[in-house]
């Protein structure tokens, strides 16, 4: 690769190129970020457990490290997912020894939102306001919403309250709903219902974040159909958490294989010895995905990979039993030595 080649510069006419980083990897990958990316997403550092572990006690040391790197590179931040059913401390859901009333939860969400926005608004261009609130049960096609603690205590109104609070304190930045398995038809229908409900209730929702974690061979037609469906709601689209795991080359189904699933033992056996052919398949999937993203650049404004290079990826530990061998997934555009994979040159050439 030419040392002056740049993904984000090549794709400037199409969309932003983003990467998710932690407070540790933001510094480690600073040079790669500066050369190839023009959007940064904090992986976990803006979630409640990181920023307000106890009610009213805010901690920003970890998030500030990411924002400091972003500022030094002149990159704006895609702020990720304060309201999420995971990584939210228990204090959100209780009032003394009893469950918190919905109005108390709404007050807490608004107070938290106000503090986050006052600190970071000038460095942010978009917020994932609410993350993964749509039901994910393949056997229950009637429910729209995930049965989270938020939902048990408030019903779906917590989503509306989160968006209205963010609109109040971040009026100049884009507001997104973010979710996964977004191209599976049943889940897509739920997400569409969720978004339409927000729109009907007068919430400003500017866009939808298509996570695009690929644990199985992508269905490219469903990806296209999903982009068109979400765009038809009047939304801007971001690809928010893109990675292509080794599983995508070994799993022909729709969903991630888990311990105990038919075929999982065979998957592990194959994944422990990744062949050059399998690794090349990951790169080929990236080329096909970006071809689709480019063809819809009239509605897609940003494509973000969930990580920068293969040596630091959440997939190393995700869904793996403690007694199982660790499987390296090789899911990103840069390898464990921080070198661009061959597909990066091709992506730049095809831009």
What confidence tier does 254 reach under pLDDT thresholds 50, 70, 90? confident
Backbone angles phi, psi at 21, to 5 degrees: -140, 160
- pLDDT one-digit tens code per residue, 300-333: 999 999 999 999 999 887 766 667 777 889 999 9
Measured CA to CA, the distance from residue 311 to residue 297 in angstroms comes to 30
Of 131-145, 170-184, 328-342, give the lowest mean pLDDT range. 131-145
- Smallest CA-to-CA distance from 26 within 83, 60, 72 is with 72
Of 124-128, 215-219, 286-290, give the lowest mean pLDDT range. 215-219
- Smallest CA-to-CA distance from 143 within 134, 154, 132, 152 is with 134
Q: How far is CA 22 from CA 9, 27, 70, 95, in A?
A: 24, 9, 12, 32
What mean pLDDT is predicted for residues 149-171?
98
Task: Show which residues are catalytic.
Answer: 132, 241
Question: What per-residue confidence (pLDDT) applies to 207?
Answer: 98
CA atoms within 13 A on the CB side of 276: 1
Question: What per-residue confidence (pLDDT) applies to 263?
Answer: 77
What mean pLDDT is predicted for residues 334-345?
97
Radius of gyration of the chain (CA): 20
Question: What per-residue confidence (pLDDT) applies to 59?
Answer: 98
Any idea what DSSP says for residue 324?
Answer: S
What mean pLDDT is predicted for residues 114-129?
98
Question: What per-residue confidence (pLDDT) applies to 252?
Answer: 80
Question: What per-residue confidence (pLDDT) applies to 326?
Answer: 78
Question: What per-residue confidence (pLDDT) applies to 342?
Answer: 97
Question: What per-residue confidence (pLDDT) applies to 316?
Answer: 84
Domains and CATH numbers, the chain: 7-350 (3.20.20.80)
- Residue-wise DSSP of 124-173: EEEEEEEES-B---TT--S--B---HHHHHHTTHHHHHHHHHHHHH-TTS
What crossing angle do the helices spanning 157-169 and 102-120 adopt, rounded to 10°?
Answer: 30
What mean pLDDT is predicted for residues 122-133?
98
Q: Is the pLDDT of residue 259 over 80?
A: no
Q: Is the pLDDT of residue 139 over 70?
A: no
What confidence tier does 4 reach under pLDDT thresholds 50, 70, 90? confident
Question: What per-residue confidence (pLDDT) applies to 300?
Answer: 99
Of 68-72, 83-87, 254-258, give the lowest mean pLDDT range. 254-258
Question: What per-residue confidence (pLDDT) applies to 257?
Answer: 76
The secondary element (H helix, E strand) that includes residue 38 is none
Question: What per-residue confidence (pLDDT) applies to 1?
Answer: 65
């Amino acid at each position: 690769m030419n040392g002056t080649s740049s993904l984000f510069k090549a794709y400037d006419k199409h969309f932003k190129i983003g990467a998710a980083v932690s407070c540790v990897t933001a510094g480690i990958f600073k040079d790669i970020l500066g050369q190839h990316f023009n959007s940064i997403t904090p992986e976990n550092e803006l979630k409640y457990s990181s920023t307000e572990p106890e009610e009213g006690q805010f901690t920003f040391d970890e998030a500030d490290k990411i924002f400091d790197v972003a500022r030094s590179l002149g990159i704006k931040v895609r702020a990720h997912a304060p309201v999420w059913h995971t990584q939210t401390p228990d204090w959100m859901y209780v009032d003394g020894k009893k469950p918190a009333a919905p109005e108390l939860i709404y007050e807490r969400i608004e107070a938290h939102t106000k503090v986050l926005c006052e600190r970071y608004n000038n460095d942010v261009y978009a917020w994932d306001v609410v993350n993964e609130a749509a039901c994910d049960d393949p056997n229950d096609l009637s429910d729209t919403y995930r049965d989270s603690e938020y939902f048990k205590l408030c019903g779906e109104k917590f989503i509306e309250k989160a968006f209205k609070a963010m609109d109040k304190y971040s009026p100049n930045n884009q507001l997104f709903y973010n979710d996964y398995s977004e191209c599976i038809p049943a889940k897509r229908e739920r997400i569409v219902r969720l978004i339409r409900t927000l729109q009907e209730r007068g919430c400003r929702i500017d866009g939808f974040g298509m996570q695009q974690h690929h644990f199985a061979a992508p269905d490219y037609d469903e990806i296209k159909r999903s982009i068109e469906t979400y765009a038809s709601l009047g939304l801007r689209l971001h690809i928010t958490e893109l990675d292509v795991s080794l599983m995508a080359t070994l799993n022909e189904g729709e969903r991630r294989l888990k311990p105990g699933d038919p075929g999982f033992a065979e998957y592990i056996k194959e994944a422990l010895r990744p062949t050059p052919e399998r690794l090349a398949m990951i790169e080929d999937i990236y080329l096909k995905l970006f071809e689709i993203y480019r063809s819809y650049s009239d509605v897609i404004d940003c494509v973000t990979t969930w990580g920068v290079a293969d040596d630091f990826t959440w997939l190393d530990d995700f869904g793996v039993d403690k007694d199982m061998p660790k499987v390296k997934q090789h899911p990103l555009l840069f390898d464990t030595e921080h070198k661009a994979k061959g597909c990066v040159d091709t992506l730049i050439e095809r831009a």
